[in-house]
Structure 1
Amino acid sequence: MLLSSAVLPWAAAQPAVDQPAQVDAGWVLARLARPAPMRTSFVEVRESRLLKEPLRLSGEYLRPREDTLVRQVRSPYLETTTIVSSKGDAGQATIERAGKSRTYSLTRVPELASLQSSFGAMLAGDQARLERDFRIASQGTRARWTLVLTPKDAGLATRLKQILLYGRGAELRCIETVPAKGVEVQRTLLATAARAAGDEADAAALTALCQGETG
């Protein structure tokens, strides 16, 4: 007992040298910067009360130019979405599927405008541009971190509650898109997390992989 009472005060007084520092959003964004052209594989999981099990999509994201983001779905169907931003207007999105093509102004699909804006800002390492559209909060350490993006625009906030980015070091491994209403979270695994997913279809396993608990 005497030994314990002698040691404990000494231990409590020591600095927590083994505790990693809280990660800073600026540090993360600086390391996520990837100039165009770039590409990365993805696995996307969509939850819906209308489906017996989550819908699992796989394919590739491409950024051939700074103003263009291309999302190619290769399974379970073929679909290409091309989002082009434009100075002075909202830009447009073109969706090609089954030999048919449709083009929309991004004012009609603010979620896609948000995707292009946030992806573009992240890949450019442009924290100021990202902060124009979102409030940014950081969690975790440099080894395993989370960025929480909350939309500032009231119109977008009626549809989108948050975007959560999960990563390790300089790698963005997963994006969770949380709607303003309902529980139908969409998860997009990227890069090594997408490859680690393999043919996994279990929603709980993919969620754990997305959030960095496995893989």
Structure 2
Amino acid sequence: MALALLTSLTIPALASGIDAATILRQLAQPAPSQTGFIELRGSALLKEPLRIEGQYRRPDAGTLVREVRTPYAETTTIADNQVSIVRTGKPPRVFSLQRVPELADLQASFGAMLAGDLAALEQRYRLQPSGSAQHWQLVLTPIADALQRRVRAVTLYGQGRELRCIETQPAKGELQRTLLGGAATAAADVRQADALAALCHDGGAR
């Protein structure tokens, strides 16, 4: 009787839970791939968050392209341990990835997520998954002191195979939110902060 009761209590919990490996398997996408984004950067100096729109592209496994279309035109390409930034009206800039460790981490983390590489991601972060396969959340807490000084935590929100939102909490400053894929498309005409937050969290744990 006790065993039957224990089984009835534990099976639903296991069925509704999810682990980091399962989330990464769902997210894995071979290159080439691309997704639209809307990035919201908060600041105490602004009445409302700065809204940046564009597209992330991964033409091959070793290259990450961030193309901003609004409110300015700029393309950042990370490849071969170099960063190239091309902005309308300004001369191109090319420099070593070692000069901007946050971009190196971005490329490595994106690459690990899209490759479904759990071990690579665990080298940089402690992972805390929650939710279900349909609506999940994954909190990434930096391990290295250097990264902890810049980032407190990164939270991913998703639905099934789609990463819908990334929230980055810097060590100092305001929360930064990036809507991706279907969430970015749904947010095209949305300006209210609470509605944008709801679109982000719609893929989170329930």
1:111–1:160 contact (8 Å) kept in structure 2: no
Q: How many residues are aligned here?
A: 197
Task: Measure, in 2, the Cα distance between the counterparts of 1:58 and 1:105.
Answer: 26
Task: State the partner residue of 1:158.
Answer: 149
Q: State which of 176, 196, 200 in structure 2 corresponds to 1:206.
A: 196
Task: State the partner residue of 1:96.
Answer: 86
Deviation digits for residues 118-169 of structure 1 (CA, Å, limit 9, x no counterpart): 1000111111111111111101111211111111121111011111110011
Identity level (%): 54
Task: Measure, in 2, the Cα distance between the counterparts of 1:204 and 1:125.
Answer: 31
Q: 1:108, CA displacement in angstroms? A: 2.2
The alignment status of 1:143 with 2:134, answered yes or no, reads: yes
Deviation digits for residues 55-78 of structure 1 (CA, Å, limit 9, x no counterpart): 111111100011110011111111
TM-score normalised per structure 1: 0.85
SS of residue matched to 1:164:
strand
Larger radius of gyration: 1
User: Aligned letter for 1:208?
Assistant: A
Task: Measure, in 2, the Cα distance between the counterparts of 1:102 and 1:201.
Answer: 33
Task: Measure, in 1, the Cα distance between the counterparts of 2:203 and 2:136.
Answer: 12
Task: State the partner residue of 2:113.
Answer: 122
1:144–1:168 contact (8 Å) kept in structure 2: yes
2:159–2:203 contact (8 Å) kept in structure 1: no
SS of residue matched to 1:26:
helix
Instruction: After superposing the two structures, state which structure 1 stretch, 136-145 or 117-126, moved more.
Output: 136-145
Task: Measure, in 2, the Cα distance between the counterparts of 1:13 and 1:162.
Answer: 35
2:135–2:203 contact (8 Å) kept in structure 1: no
The alignment status of 1:108 with 2:99, answered yes or no, reads: yes
Q: 1:14, CA displacement in angstroms? A: 8.7
2:19–2:129 contact (8 Å) kept in structure 1: yes
2:164–2:203 contact (8 Å) kept in structure 1: no
Q: 1:35, CA displacement in angstroms? A: 0.6
Task: Measure, in 2, the Cα distance between the counterparts of 1:202 and 1:104.
Answer: 37
Task: Measure, in 2, the Cα distance between the counterparts of 1:112 and 1:79.
Answer: 15
User: Unpaired runs of 5+ in structure 1?
Assistant: 1-11
Task: State the partner residue of 1:23.
Answer: 18
CA 1:213–1:152: 2 relative to 1, 3 Å: closer
1:59–1:75 contact (8 Å) kept in structure 2: yes
Q: 1:210, CA displacement in angstroms? A: 0.7
CA RMSD in angstroms, aligned pairs only: 1.9
SS of residue matched to 1:119:
helix
1:78–1:98 contact (8 Å) kept in structure 2: yes
User: Unpaired runs of 5+ in structure 2?
Assistant: none
TM-score normalised per structure 2: 0.89
Task: Measure, in 2, the Cα distance between the counterparts of 1:96 and 1:203.
Answer: 30
Q: Which runs of 4+ in 1 moved over 6 A?
A: none
SS of residue matched to 1:107:
helix
CA 1:213–1:143: 2 relative to 1, 3 Å: closer
